[in-house]
């Protein structure tokens, strides 16, 4: 029934009852009046048993009134406190009768619109499918601001006590995470909302048997048992990062502005002044210390998004089965809802958790734990959490931690003075506190044996709201130039541009600074000033009345011995990465990221130079060093671009080809030299420096083909270092491999002569160890310098294109070597690789595995693939070791791998990467294609991504290769028992777009050469090899042959020597080469052999069952008008004369290829060039012909017009 205003509850002792409730946060403020302002009956079978009641509290101060919610229900037992009556019915409150929560769940499950006494509408709606809980209920412990009830140990019902207009962050974020499929928080099941979308109650899945992380942490830190809290912090860090990604995928995200960063910094300075005034213990040094930290932060904060907002150990539980679960997304309860719903920085959550560890440490000591052990526990928890979370913008994280510390100091001084030592202890290293006892527990020394009462350790305090401050109109002077210079020396200054270069002062004048350690003097040239003052050793400064033009002024630097240099100021320029670059990189969708990252020659303000950019988010600083600054890292410290983790600097006048590296100061203060991951040119191994590449080659030829699927494809696989050598008196031993430009002529002539349509290069990306054949890549954008420059490589590609030959390169995204001058531990942390060795190390190859879950790593690899296709213009990428990417348990034993989020073995992030690379490559480059070396039965490898496949153009048919070589390696007398090894492949030949590979992998590591695998005497071995090629070229699919196979090289291949070219003086070897040449020519002339490779109707068995005779025959069909091709294979050593075979039609059939021809070294058993088919049906076909099948030979017949 409708409720009228007279139906409001009568609660005579409401004010007294309200102030005794823990969740009533206004109890310390003077109350003027408390009144019941509304009520909503929840009816069961038409009978209201529970009421949602709104209470308005007026205060005597100037603060606005507040609205609070009660849940009243019928009083059933004398023991339940009587709060009042509703229509004469005695009622009590939820805290005494948690059964009332059943009514809230009931209306939410049914989805009802309820009428309040005021006439307002209250909406109850389901979100997920709520279970039917058992009829048991209990309060969920003690809460600070709300009340939760557990129903049947299955559902948690939270009653929101403070009613505020607008969407509730807890409801909003939990629903967003549920929608995103995030499994690290209990799923949302239902919601009750009032007027203005004010949340009134929330229902979520209850995590049964859970334990609070706070309680476990305190007990573990105190030495009271091992609860796995510290050990599990890496998992919690990963879950936190996943939470942030899930929130970013469903709710508002925006890039921060300079104004956002200024507001944060200015607010922090104001907080420091307030803390100094209100907490005498911090001392006068706090403001200066905060100013120094403030100066170290980049100009922007990176991405802003929705965050947890009140993240600490008290908001985390674990049940041992589901792992960590994150709760309570209301945000800081002291802040208005509108403010809590604004996008914020994810590192604020990280800072909250880090400070929570410090409070757990202190609580553990108060509970009787050993201070040193508790401190070790804290450090282990902090490191684990940060390792799991991944890359962080350290300057901004430090600032958010400082923000927490300032609030903690004010809060503890006002409310819990005996806890004040906790924030003071953290502030002390900054020189911000007055002399005081150093004790991480925050309690007096000597009380170690006194155990505190259990359960009294508080949850860490939450930050208070603070009004935003407007940015300053002009850049102020640095508060302490000496401190900034010291930070520059120590490698702690994240934004050297804040100290160096041009700066406008508050009075409108300008100051220009340069950092030249060891210089005697500095002079500004081209501006209205002269000699500079050395304000701090090495730091020179000039004041000017007008703004100096970065394109015209120079520094003239004088060193001892009267050495003078005139330099363009590297710190006069804006960031070389624009807003679009930063946005695309943050999203992981910068498809030409190599133009923004690495070393890119460009012109800024009419000044030629090189823009350097590298990703090292956990570094304290990064400096670019090279020939242009005598490898002195002090001269060119780079600028951090906020949370992106990118360091950037434009250095004028760096020449093309200059060698360089990055000098990285890691998080622990270590100084390491690193090559540039994005370098397009590298030093010749064993050199490890990167090189600047201008790249001014002018292309002349277009790619040869775009329809690779329906065109001929015959691939010659080449290892450039061991293909052919040339005389060189300067080389070791007097001979060396050919250069790129020499290969353009010699390899180009050779491949063109043999008729291959494509060459495939084993990895030519830079690699330190030649014995790896290039598969342990350190330069993912750089063609190896062993054979020339990147432009020389372009010349090779262009020359091959000019001959109509396509170029494929092997691309290796599956793993990378552990050389620490390259990608490994790049900024002192596991950056490109997984931190967990079960995910980050490859057991077979002793290499590291990329962390495909990281946006930056995915973008790095995608950009690498596109760079080879677009900047170096190769036609195809053969992706190595795809199977090792797809399976988390690849070559791993039980317990040595980590399942995916669904508990499976599939590497979902690797799948996503491969799909993105393939889809993007085909979208941007119509001429391009990709090939997968995938050795398992993963479905849809060459299926388009929009149909759920991986999106490759082709897949290596490893099954065909193993079966075929196994068959051909057997003596013919035994082949009858293995006939299915040649026929079985047709069962799956059209499940993918296949390449038939006889690759380098089959002629190394003791496997011998292809000719060495063939059985029989010398004549039979060569005949078998020729028959293998005849069978392969006629088989459905594209074909690939590794170098040396075309000349029947008898020695196993070795990367340390060239091919055995003198063997061609032997007629048998030359015959095999000639057969390959003719097979390629005839293959390209006959569309039936390639036009419909993807169509099963293009193939028909003639005879697949004559195992006893080792005979097989099939016919290939092209499009309308294309002549059919019949392939007959006699793989026994006996010729078969007068052999009748079925054919699709009568007429003449020309013998197009015979592997037993005398010109190839065969016995010349054949058919005099042609056969005539009659209308006599045979083998299920309408016509037939009588032929001769040569021993160990394959014959192709082509229908004549």
| C-alpha span between 827 and 393 (Å, rounded) | 12
User: Within a 10 A sphere around the Cβ of 582, how many other Cβ atoms?
Assistant: 21
Going 330 to 336 to 341 to 342, the CA torsion angle's sign is negative
Query: What are residue 31's DSSP bridge partners?
Result: 59
| C-alpha span between 154 and 160 (Å, rounded) | 20
Contact by Cβ (8 Å): 55, 84? no
| C-alpha span between 781 and 692 (Å, rounded) | 12
**Which tokens sit at 391?**
């890359």
Cα 459–Cα 462–Cα 465 angle in degrees, nearest 5 = 165
Query: Active site includes 933?
Result: yes
| C-alpha span between 676 and 660 (Å, rounded) | 8
Helices assigned H by DSSP within 703-771: 740-754
Contact by Cβ (8 Å): 809, 868? yes
Q: Which of 260, 760, 880, 1002 is catalytic?
A: 880
**Which tokens sit at 272?**
């420091």
**Which tokens sit at 519?**
């210089």
| C-alpha span between 106 and 733 (Å, rounded) | 87
Task: Render the burial of 396-419: b for 16+ CB within 10 Å, e for the rest.
Answer: bbbbbbbbbbbbbbbbbbeeeeeb
**Which tokens sit at 967?**
């068959």
**Which tokens sit at 1028?**
């293998």
Query: What are residue 1173's DSSP bridge partners?
Result: 1147
Contact by Cβ (8 Å): 822, 782? no
- Tally the C-alpha atoms within 13 A of residue 278's C-alpha that lie toward its C-beta: 18
Query: Active site includes 490?
Result: no
**Which tokens sit at 542?**
């000039």
Contact by Cβ (8 Å): 763, 1000? no
| C-alpha span between 668 and 674 (Å, rounded) | 16
* 429 closest CA partner among 440, 443, 420: 440
What are the backbone dihedrals phi and psi of residue 1123, each rounded to the nearest 5 degrees, phi first?
-70, 140
| C-alpha span between 421 and 264 (Å, rounded) | 26
User: Within a 10 A sphere around the Cβ of 78, how many other Cβ atoms?
Assistant: 6
Q: Which of 271, 332, 766, 933 is catalytic?
A: 933
For the residues of 461-512, what is the DSSP string, one character each? Answer: P-PPP----PPPSSPPPPS-HHHHHHHHHHT--S-GGGTSEEEE-TTS-EEE
- Cα torsion through 974, 978, 983, 987, rounded to 10: 180
Contact by Cβ (8 Å): 900, 908? yes
**Which tokens sit at 491?**
């490698």
| C-alpha span between 1001 and 1004 (Å, rounded) | 6
User: Within a 10 A sphere around the Cβ of 565, how many other Cβ atoms?
Assistant: 12
User: Within a 10 A sphere around the Cβ of 134, how many other Cβ atoms?
Assistant: 10
Task: Render the burial of 212-250: b for 16+ CB within 10 Å, e for the rest.
Answer: bbbbbbbbbbbeeeebebbebbbbbbbbbbbbbebbbeb
Contact by Cβ (8 Å): 759, 718? yes
* 1000 closest CA partner among 955, 1050, 1054: 1054
Residues with Cβ < 8 Å from 108, sequence gap 6 or more? 124, 125, 126, 130, 189, 190, 191, 192, 201, 203
For the residues of 1127-1146, what is the DSSP string, one character each? Answer: EEEE-SSS-EEEEEEEESS-
Query: What are residue 44's DSSP bridge partners?
Result: 47
Positions annotated as catalytic residues are 880, 933
């Amino acid at each position: 029934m409708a409720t009228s205003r007279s139906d409001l509850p009568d609660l005579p002792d409401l004010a007294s009852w309200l102030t005794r409730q823990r969740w009533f946060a206004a109890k310390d403020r003077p109350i003027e009046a408390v009144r019941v302002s509304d009520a909503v009956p929840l009816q069961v079978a038409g009978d209201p048993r529970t009421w949602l009641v709104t209470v308005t509290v007026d205060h005597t101060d100037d603060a606005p009134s507040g609205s609070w919610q009660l849940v009243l229900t019928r009083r059933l037992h004398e023991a339940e406190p009587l709060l009042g009556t509703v229509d004469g019915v005695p009622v009590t409150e939820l805290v005494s009768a948690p059964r009332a929560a059943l009514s809230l769940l009931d209306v939410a499950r049914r989805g009802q619109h309820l009428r309040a006494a005021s006439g307002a509408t209250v909406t109850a709606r389901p979100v997920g499918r709520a279970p039917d809980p058992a009829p048991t209920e209990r309060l969920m412990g003690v809460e600070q601001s709300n009340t939760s009830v557990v129903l049947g140990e299955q559902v948690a019902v939270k009653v929101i006590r403070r009613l505020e207009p607008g969407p509730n962050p807890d409801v909003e974020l939990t629903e967003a995470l549920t929608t995103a499929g995030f499994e690290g928080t209990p799923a949302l099941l239902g919601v009750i909302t009032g007027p203005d979308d004010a949340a009134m109650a929330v229902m979520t899945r209850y995590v049964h048997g859970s334990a609070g992380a706070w309680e476990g942490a305190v007990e573990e830190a105190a030495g009271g048992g091992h609860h796995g809290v510290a050990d599990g912090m890496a998992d919690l860090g990963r879950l936190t990062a996943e939470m942030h990604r899930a929130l970013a995928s469903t709710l508002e995200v925006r890039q921060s502005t300079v104004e956002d960063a200024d507001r944060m910094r200015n607010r922090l300075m104001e907080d420091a002044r307030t803390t100094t005034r209100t907490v005498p213990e911090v001392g006068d040094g706090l403001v200066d210390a905060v100013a120094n930290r403030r100066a170290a932060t980049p100009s922007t904060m990176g991405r802003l998004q929705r965050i947890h907002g009140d993240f600490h150990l008290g908001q985390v539980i674990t049940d041992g089965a589901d792992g960590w679960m994150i709760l309570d997304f209301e945000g800081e309860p002291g802040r208005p809802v509108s403010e809590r719903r604004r996008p914020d920085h994810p590192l604020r959550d990280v800072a909250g958790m880090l400070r929570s560890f410090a409070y757990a440490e202190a609580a553990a000591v108060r509970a009787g734990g050993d201070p040193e052990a508790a401190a070790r526990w804290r450090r282990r928890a902090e490191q684990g959490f940060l390792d799991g979370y991944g890359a962080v913008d350290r300057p901004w994280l430090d600032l958010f931690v400082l923000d927490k510390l300032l609030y903690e100091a004010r809060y503890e001084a006002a409310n819990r003075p005996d806890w004040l030592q906790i924030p003071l202890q953290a502030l002390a290293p900054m020189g911000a506190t007055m002399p005081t006892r150093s004790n991480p527990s925050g309690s007096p020394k000597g009380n170690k044996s006194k155990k505190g009462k259990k359960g009294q350790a508080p949850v860490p305090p939450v930050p208070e709201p603070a009004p935003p401050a407007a940015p300053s109109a002009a850049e102020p002077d640095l508060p302490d130039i000496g401190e900034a210079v010291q930070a520059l020396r120590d490698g702690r200054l994240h934004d050297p541009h804040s100290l160096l270069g041009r700066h406008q002062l508050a009075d409108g004048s300008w100051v220009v600074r340069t950092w030249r350690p060891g210089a005697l003097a500095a002079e500004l040239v081209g501006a209205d000033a002269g000699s500079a003052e050395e304000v701090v050793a090495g730091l020179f400064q000039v004041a000017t009345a007008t703004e100096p033009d970065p394109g015209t002024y120079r520094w003239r630097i004088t060193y001892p011995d009267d050495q003078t240099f005139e330099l363009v100021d590297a710190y006069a320029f804006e960031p070389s990465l624009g807003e679009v670059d930063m946005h695309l990189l943050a999203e992981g969708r910068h498809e030409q990221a190599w133009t923004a990252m690495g070393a890119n020659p460009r012109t800024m303000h009419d000044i030629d130079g090189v823009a350097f950019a590298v990703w090292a988010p956990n570094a304290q600083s990064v400096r670019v060093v090279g020939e242009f600054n005598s490898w002195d890292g002090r001269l060119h410290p780079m600028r951090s671009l906020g949370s992106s983790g990118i360091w950037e600097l434009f250095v004028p006048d760096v020449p093309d080809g200059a060698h360089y590296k990055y000098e990285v100061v890691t998080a622990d203060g270590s100084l390491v030299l690193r090559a540039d991951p994005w370098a397009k040119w590298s030093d010749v191994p064993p050199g490890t420096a990167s090189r600047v590449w201008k790249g001014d080659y002018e292309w002349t030829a277009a790619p040869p083909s775009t329809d690779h699927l329906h065109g001929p494809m015959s691939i010659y696989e080449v290892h450039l270092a061991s293909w052919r050598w040339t005389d060189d008196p300067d080389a070791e031993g007097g001979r060396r491999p050919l250069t790129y430009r020499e290969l353009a002529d010699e390899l180009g002539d050779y491949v063109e002569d043999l008729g291959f349509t494509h060459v495939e290069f084993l990895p030519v990306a830079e690699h330190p160890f030649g014995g790896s054949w290039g598969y342990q890549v350190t330069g993912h954008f750089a063609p190896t310098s062993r054979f020339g420059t990147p432009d020389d490589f372009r010349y090779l590609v262009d020359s091959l294109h000019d001959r109509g030959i396509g170029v494929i390169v092997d691309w290796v995204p599956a793993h990378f070597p552990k050389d620490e001058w390259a990608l490994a531990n790049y900024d002192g942390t596991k950056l490109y690789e997984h931190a967990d060795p079960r995910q980050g190390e490859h057991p077979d190859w002793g290499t590291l595995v990329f962390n495909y879950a990281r946006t930056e790593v995915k973008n790095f690899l995608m950009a690498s693939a596109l760079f080879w296709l677009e900047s170096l213009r190769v036609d195809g990428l053969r992706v190595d070791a795809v199977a090792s990417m797809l399976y988390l348990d690849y070559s791993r034993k039980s317990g040595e791998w980590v399942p995916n989020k669904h508990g499976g073995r599939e590497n979902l992030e690797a799948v996503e990467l491969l799909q993105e690379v393939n889809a993007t490559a085909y979208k941007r480059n119509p001429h391009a294609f990709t090939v997968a070396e995938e050795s398992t039965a993963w479905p849809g490898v060459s299926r388009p991504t929009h149909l759920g496949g991986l999106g490759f153009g082709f897949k290596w048919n490893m099954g065909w290769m193993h079966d075929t070589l196994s068959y051909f390696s057997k003596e013919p007398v035994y082949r009858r028992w293995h006939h299915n090894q040649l026929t079985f492949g047709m069962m799956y030949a059209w499940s993918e777009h296949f390449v038939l590979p006889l690759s380098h992998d089959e002629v190394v590591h003791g496997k011998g050469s292809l000719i060495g695998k063939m059985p029989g005497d010398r004549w039979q071995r060569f005949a078998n090899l020729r028959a293998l090629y005849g069978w392969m070229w006629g088989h459905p699919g594209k074909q690939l042959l590794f170098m040396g196979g075309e000349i029947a090289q008898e020695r196993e291949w070795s990367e340390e020597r060239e091919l055995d070219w003198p063997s061609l003086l032997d007629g048998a070897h030359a015959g095999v080469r000639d057969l390959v040449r003719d097979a390629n020519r005839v293959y390209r002339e006959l569309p039936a052999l390639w036009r419909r490779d993807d169509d099963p109707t293009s193939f028909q068995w003639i005879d697949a069952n004559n195992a006893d005779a080792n005979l097989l025959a099939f016919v290939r069909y092209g499009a309308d008008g294309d002549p059919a091709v019949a392939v007959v294979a006699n793989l026994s050593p006996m010729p078969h004369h007068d052999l009748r075979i079925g054919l699709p039609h009568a007429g003449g059939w020309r013998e197009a290829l015979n592997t037993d021809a005398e010109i190839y070294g065969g016995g010349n058993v054949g058919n005099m060039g042609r056969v005539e088919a009659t209308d006599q049906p045979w083998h299920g076909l309408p016509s037939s012909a009588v032929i001769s099948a040569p021993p160990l030979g394959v014959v192709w017949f082509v229908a004549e017009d």
